[in-house]
Amino acid sequence: MATLQELRDERLRKLDDLKKLGVNPYPAKASRTHHAAQITNNFEELQGQVVTLTGRITGIRKFGKIAFVVLKDSTGSMQLFLKTGIVAETDAANNVIGIENLPLLDSGDFIQATGPVIKTQTGEISVEAQSLKLLTKSLRPLPTEQDGFTNKEERMRRRYVDTNVNNDVYHRYLRRSIFWQSTRQFMLQEGFVEMSIPVLEGVAGGADANPFITHMDALDQDFYLRISHELPLKRLLGGGYEKVFDIGPRFRNENYSDEHLPEHVAMEWYWAYADWRDGMKLTQRFIRHIADQTWGKRQFTLAGGQQIDLGPDDQDWPEVSFVQVIKDRYNIDVFDTSLEEVQKAVRENGIEVEKADNINRCIDKLWKKIRVEIDGPAFLVDVPTFLQPLAKTQIADPRLSEQFNLLLGGTEACKAYSELNDPIDQLNRFTEQQKMRDDGDDEAMMLDIDFVEMLEYGMPPACGYGHSERIFWMLEGVTAREGVPFPQLRSEIDETTRKIYPELNL
């Protein structure tokens, strides 16, 4: 069996032969009148009409004076029927490749084909090529579907190969696009205004996470890549906007997991004069809308085997009390406990106790042990105020925040709450978080005095909500790295590439 380097050398020879013929193997211009699926779906209407297709060759079969070429575009595949005397001969000036030079083409090459729509003697819808033009000569062969392309590491490193070979992966990222399109559509229909906010921030805030740090030469100052959209969007509420949202990347300098990527796309909205209960109602409609638009269904089997049913529009999702489930599972009163007690419970449940852990962190770890068992959908409520430094407190019990999290597939798929707009209370909570940070908790929030100043000018009562594309990964039934086209990986160059380009000293 030929090696990749040998196959590439053979294609380089063909490339040289094409150039000797005067053919440009990489022209700038192409034409197309139809996609493959249009012809397949509208054969009766198009039969006999001359069409022009473009796409990648996935197969070539030649039998004397006739040949069959399979062309694949973004909508599907179409067979081209070539016959000596019908297909034009090689015309280098126009990049036309005749049947006599068909051996210079390979699977993976991009071509343009023109001819009438027909059915072959075997009944297969085809295009009888009258002209075949080369658009791109490929130098590396793609694996065939029969060969398979299943190595996870290889698939993530060469996703452009993965999407060519694995049709399900190709369509996954189309659904990802629809997921965010339907998100934007819903928010606009609800009267929200999309606001693009900075990625670089002087203070990283809005979440518990370790930020990436970069440096801006023009200001000679370090900046953080945002870990959340929250604080800039809330500044806009203070600026007079009443319903705002943003969709875009955020960055958290943490490890990979099946649920988390250090870089991922997220969406947050903020709604003036609404509270957390208003946000719950909107969230149910919102999640059902994007499920309907993206997958056309509301019942899902997740990667972990959980069965999820988002239910009909008139059915509210159940609520789970944070305080009560901790009490029921560990016999811990989160408002009357000690570091020793919660650390003991953490160890007894097989969870690692880290040096920087405090009561808050340990309680959060105990909750996450319970969370993985809840399939949902359900809303987590009664989250202690000390775990949420940006939320309003419940009037009936100020120890509890007006917060809800969407529980889905054993994880928290979103977080939302009535936003804190008391500048004095906010400053006190920031100060507590900064003390935790100074004591070694790198994920505690930083003090953002500019945000406190905005609150002193006045921000209306509001509800805020945020979710990442983790919701897409869950409902799609894939891990985080399978859910994005190009996850970050450790830099690596394979040996074949090193041998192909020895002069580069890779």
Instruction: Give the DSSP letter string of 399-410.
Output: TBBSEEEEEETT
Residue 413 and residue 471 share a domain: yes
Q: Residue 78 to residues 68, 124, 166: CA-CA distances in angstroms? A: 10, 9, 18
152 located within any domain: no
214 located within any domain: yes
- β-sheet bridge partners, residue 393: 401
The whole-number pLDDT of residue 167 equals 92
pLDDT in tens, 136-182: 999 999 987 667 788 888 899 999 999 999 999 999 999 999 999 99
Alpha carbon distance 478, 75 (integer Å): 23
- pLDDT for 43 beyond 90: yes
35 located within any domain: yes
Residue 200 and residue 130 share a domain: no
148 located within any domain: no
The whole-number pLDDT of residue 209 equals 82
CATH of the domain at 111: 2.40.50.140
For residue 132, give its domain range: 4-136
pLDDT in tens, 434-453: 888 887 777 777 888 999 99
CATH of the domain at 225: 3.30.930.10
Burial track 309-330 (b if 16+ CB lie within 10 A, e otherwise): ebeeeeeebeebebbebbeeeb
User: For the chain, what is the domain count?
Assistant: 2
498 located within any domain: no
Instruction: Give the DSSP letter string of 467-494.
Output: EETHHHHHHHT--TTTSSSS--------
Residue 284 and residue 235 share a domain: yes
- pLDDT for 357 beyond 80: no
Residue 121 and residue 192 share a domain: no
Total-model pTM: 0.89
Residue 245 and residue 361 share a domain: yes
Antiparallel, parallel or unpaired: β 319-321 and 378-381:
parallel
Residue 229 and residue 112 share a domain: no
Residue 461 and residue 366 share a domain: yes
Residue 429 and residue 369 share a domain: yes
CB count, 10 Å around CB of 337? 16
- Higher pLDDT among residues 343 and 444, named by residue: 343
